[in-house]
Amino acid sequence: MAAYNSYKEGDYNAAVIQYLLLAEQGYEVAQSNAAFILDQREATIVGENETYPRALLHWNRAASQGYTVARIKLGDYHFYGFGTDVDYETAFIHYRLASEQQHSAQAMFNLGYMHEKGLGIKQDIHLAKRFYDMAAEASPDAQVPVFLALCKLGVVYFLQYIRETNIRDIFIQLDMDQLLGPEWDLYLMTIIALLLGTVIAYRQRQHQDMPAPRPPGPRPAPPQQEGPPEQQPPQ
């Protein structure tokens, strides 16, 4: 509990040292908390070049003990190349494990995106939609980003249909002023601005809701007067 108290008091160096010591003993909570502090670059005692590799190590240890956030973090690290090389195939594997074993809406959404873009897997618009739908069913919080993703996916599918059916000439000849009015571009910009505002607001909420270090669980047992807070939903 001392490590958690140190974190709450803003002594991140003391907190990460204690969590790292407990992590070496196999405590999942300590592994994930140490990884979180390193991930947020809150501790100054760890060199900048070592921060992400060490965080990756402890996310991997926590994920092997079934912690969903850690499994998704492994996917993120391989997707973006944090502490390792960019590896979309490995990222896809971690997201799939989090989706199949832990039913994570975030992992399902990420799988949908990777299917949509063809990252680490063959591009498949239909599978992308399936995973987006699964994410919306798994968590109400995913419904807004899924709606936006499906709107974009619909445009992608429509453009693919145009290419495959060779009807591009029809659209080239369309006069947008006659079709939607002389101010059609203003309408389009307004819609795009609203969509971007929704996405930015959602991403800010995601960042605020990122799970902070958890106090130790049964190993060692917390004091009776202060139980561990609930685990926040995964990013």
Q: How many domains does the chain have?
A: 1
CA angle 190, 192, 198 (to 5 degrees): 105
Distances (CA, A) of 194 to 176, 188, 197: 21, 10, 5
Q: Is residue 29 part of a domain?
A: yes
Q: Is residue 230 part of a domain?
A: no
How many Cβ atoms sit within 10 Å of the Cβ of residue 187? 11
CB 34 within 8 A of CB 19: yes
Predicted confidence pLDDT, tens digits, the chain (235 residues): 789 899 999 999 999 999 999 999 999 999 999 999 999 999 999 998 999 999 999 999 999 999 999 999 999 999 999 999 999 999 999 999 999 999 999 999 999 999 999 999 999 999 999 999 999 999 999 988 999 899 888 887 877 777 666 655 555 555 545 555 666 566 666 777 777 777 777 666 665 665 656 555 433 333 333 333 343 434 4
* CB-based contacts of 100, cutoff 8 Å, min separation 6: none
- Domain containing 11 equals 2-208
Q: Is residue 125 part of a domain?
A: yes
Q: Is residue 70 part of a domain?
A: yes
Predicted TM-score (pTM) above 0.85: no
Which CATH number belongs to the domain containing residue 77 in this structure? Answer: 1.25.40.10
Q: Is residue 150 part of a domain?
A: yes
Q: Is residue 217 part of a domain?
A: no
pLDDT of residue 228: 35
CB 104 within 8 A of CB 94: no
